[in-house]
Homo-oligomer: A and B are copies of this chain.
Amino acid sequence: MPEPRPPAIILMDPQLAENIGSAARVMANFGLEDLRIVRPRDGWPLERAWVAASGADWPLDNARICRTVDEAIGDLQLIYAATARPRETQLPVFTPRQAAAELLSASGEGLRTGIMFGPERAGLETADIALCHGILTVPVDERFRSLNLAQAVAVACYEWRAGILDAPRQAFAHNIDPPVPAEAMIGLFEHLESELDDAGFFHPPEKKPSMVRNLRVALGRARMTDQEVRTFRGVVTALSRGRGRVLAKRAAALAARKAGEDKG
């Protein structure tokens, strides 16, 4: 059995070149190499990232620099958000060890996986968390919760490697089809939300972001297969066209009644 493919590390809006470089270094320490960076604050490339990587150049040399989260996670099928447990989202919460076990199992099944980290000060946006399938929470002491970004990456990567070394090498056999890549789910979300917008669903408008988020989390948890996504897009289409037909019917009935009144 080949070595399972390690998860991608996705850094959302990182601020400090040193943290990006330190993250690359510790990725290399634990056998990870697929780094994706969304909107690095100070642009790219950043010389100080390479200095901090201290020779672990390859995650930086091959880093995928993205403008949007969709671009960064499009090909991934299982993504965990590294963050303190957020109250807003109904996602399962894992310790780093549990998350590593899940990622390892998924990777053993041939899925492409990733772990998403937020920027240094603010942490992950809930909209980005809503694109993930679970929360990875590092068990920090309540008295000092502020974990350095590269240290959070270190703990997650360490657990990945510890999991590989611990895991009995077993062949995975599953009867279910693999979940789709994130881009397919994002396509479904946007289709649905656009139809809901047209339908005046997001009311009042200021509530729209949280309504979108809750929808995405709930659907995301379903870990849909390709067939299921196609089915659901069909559902959205059918419902929205159905609504059009209902409206047309009502309009026709109204017109007919009006015509009758005119005659009478």
A239 to B230, CA, bound (A): 86
With a CB–CB cut-off of 8 A, which chain B residues contact A25? 144, 146, 148, 151
Question: Of the 9-residue stretches A104-112, A135-143, A175-183, A206-214, which lies at the interface with chain B?
Answer: A135-143
Residue of B nearest to A162 (CB): B139
A151 to B161, CA, bound (A): 15
Partner of A146, one of B55, B138, B145, B155: B55
With a CB–CB cut-off of 8 A, which chain B residues contact A29? 138, 140-141, 144-147, 151
Is B95's CB under 8 angstroms from A148's CB?
A: no
With a CB–CB cut-off of 8 A, which chain B residues contact A148? 22, 25-26, 54
Does A56 belong to the interface (CB within 8 Å)? yes
With a CB–CB cut-off of 8 A, which chain B residues contact A145? 29
Does A154 belong to the interface (CB within 8 Å)? yes
Measured CB to CB, the closest approach of chain B to A190, in angstroms, equals 38
Q: Report how many residues on chain A are interfacial, defined by Cβ distance under 8 Å.
A: 31
Copies of this chain held together in the complex: 2
Does A63 belong to the interface (CB within 8 Å)? no
Measured CB to CB, the closest approach of chain B to A143, in angstroms, equals 7
Given known contacts A22-B148, A26-B147, A141-B30, is B54 in contact with A162 (CB within 8 Å)?
no
A222 to B97, CA, bound (A): 33
Partner of A139, one of B56, B140, B161: B161
A90-108 to B contact mask, C-beta < 8 Å, 1/0: 0000011100000000000
Is A138's CB under 8 angstroms from B158's CB?
A: yes
Does A171 belong to the interface (CB within 8 Å)? no
Is A158's CB under 8 angstroms from B155's CB?
A: yes
Measured CB to CB, the closest approach of chain B to A123, in angstroms, equals 14
With a CB–CB cut-off of 8 A, which chain B residues contact A56? 144, 146
Residue of B nearest to A164 (CB): B139
Residue of B nearest to A147 (CB): B29
Measured CB to CB, the closest approach of chain B to A249, in angstroms, equals 60
Given known contacts A54-B146, A95-B162, A162-B95, is B154 in contact with A28 (CB within 8 Å)?
no
21 contacts between A and B (CB under 8 A): A22-B148, A22-B151, A26-B147, A28-B141, A28-B144, A29-B138, A29-B141, A29-B144, A29-B151, A30-B139, A31-B141, A54-B148, A56-B144, A96-B162, A97-B162, A138-B158, A150-B151, A154-B154, A154-B155, A155-B155, A155-B158
